[in-house]
Amino acid sequence: MPGLTIGDTIPNLEVETTHGKMKLHDYIGDSWTILFSHPGDFTPVCTAELGKMAAYAEEFAKRGVKLLGLSCDDIQSHKEWIKDVEAFSCGCKVTFPIIADPNREIIKQLNMVDPDEKDSNGNQLSSRALHIVGPDKKIKLSFLYPACTGRNMDEVLRALESLQKAAKLKIATPANWKPGEPVVISSSVSDEEAKQMLPQGYQTVELPSKEGYMRFTKV
């Protein structure tokens, strides 16, 4: 779907949330932010997901990350739904704001429209989308799931840590990487630059090509 994507700046929309009116850029400030949407309140997968997001909120906060939810229902619906979410998640509190978008305008501007799902009145619904936004207000990563498939918060956390490490150093994380495991040094970094950048050193994997591009280090 064309629209807002990786590398684009999040529009500075003024939105109504369960925490009051705010502008997106003001809320993001100098922090990383996870902006995620749900097809609708009082639905099973969305309730489970919001509960998991609440359960992981402290882990995200440790990494300097703010959370911001969104669905097309109104503020009163959100506030009533939160009671169900907290009960289902064994008391995990929903401490982050949830945007209301009953007119379906915000989901269009944030590229969070589900092309197939509609409510009982035929109105568009938001997709199960998630943008990780950097302190520069640019989208660093996006996940997009259909309504039938819930997201994995461990993967969101893993991807976030990868992005934050890559923002500090010229590194990347290989397939199936987990926090604490070695990372790879970007191909744009020469061996001399790598030695200066990484005083702890690195290891190069020998390959048939003899090209020393598989360089691993701990950061």
Residue 59, φ and ψ in degrees, nearest 5 = -65, -40
d(CA 105, CA 101): 7
Residue 175, φ and ψ in degrees, nearest 5 = -55, 135
Closest of 102, 96, 161 to residue 126, by C-alpha: 102
d(CA 175, CA 170): 17
Residue 14, φ and ψ in degrees, nearest 5 = -90, 125
> Which position has the token pair 């020469």?
190
Closest of 170, 172, 175 to residue 161, by C-alpha: 172
46 is catalytic: yes
- Alpha-carbon distances, residue 13 vs 22, 25, 97 (angstroms): 8, 8, 15
Residue type at position 49 = E
Are 172 and 189 spatial neighbours (Cβ–Cβ below 8 Å)? no
Known catalytic residues are 46
